[in-house]
Amino acid sequence: MILYYAIIAYCLSGACSNVESMERYIYEEALPYEQCLTTISTMIDEARKRNPEVKHKPISTLCVQKDFLKNKERYTVWTR
């Protein structure tokens, strides 16, 4: 079974010029694809509730195959 990491990213400042300037979160447990999509949806909802600045900003999402993610430490671990 192929497993995926759920990742979300968003910009808190007025202008993020690159990925490095964005807030990036990863759900640490690798999941089947369908569960990754569900987890991303939950992460988005929770991020909007936690941080009013994100309420109306776009949130980038990604399900990355476990074997293809090289720099997991570049992300903040998502906590519920």
Digits of tens for pLDDT over the chain (80 positions)? 999 999 999 988 767 777 777 889 999 999 999 999 999 999 999 999 998 888 888 999 999 999 998 888 889 999 87
Nearest Cα neighbor of 8 from 26, 20, 22, 21 is 26
Q: Which residue has the tokens 């509730």?
A: 49
Distance in angstroms (rounded) separating the CA atoms of residues 79 and 46? 10
Nearest Cα neighbor of 5 from 47, 68, 80, 51 is 68
Q: Residue 13 has what pLDDT?
A: 73
Q: What is the pTM of this model?
A: 0.89
User: Half-sphere exposure of residue 7, counting CA atoms within 13 Å on the CB side?
Assistant: 20
Q: Residue 57 has what pLDDT?
A: 87
Q: Residue 53 has what pLDDT?
A: 86
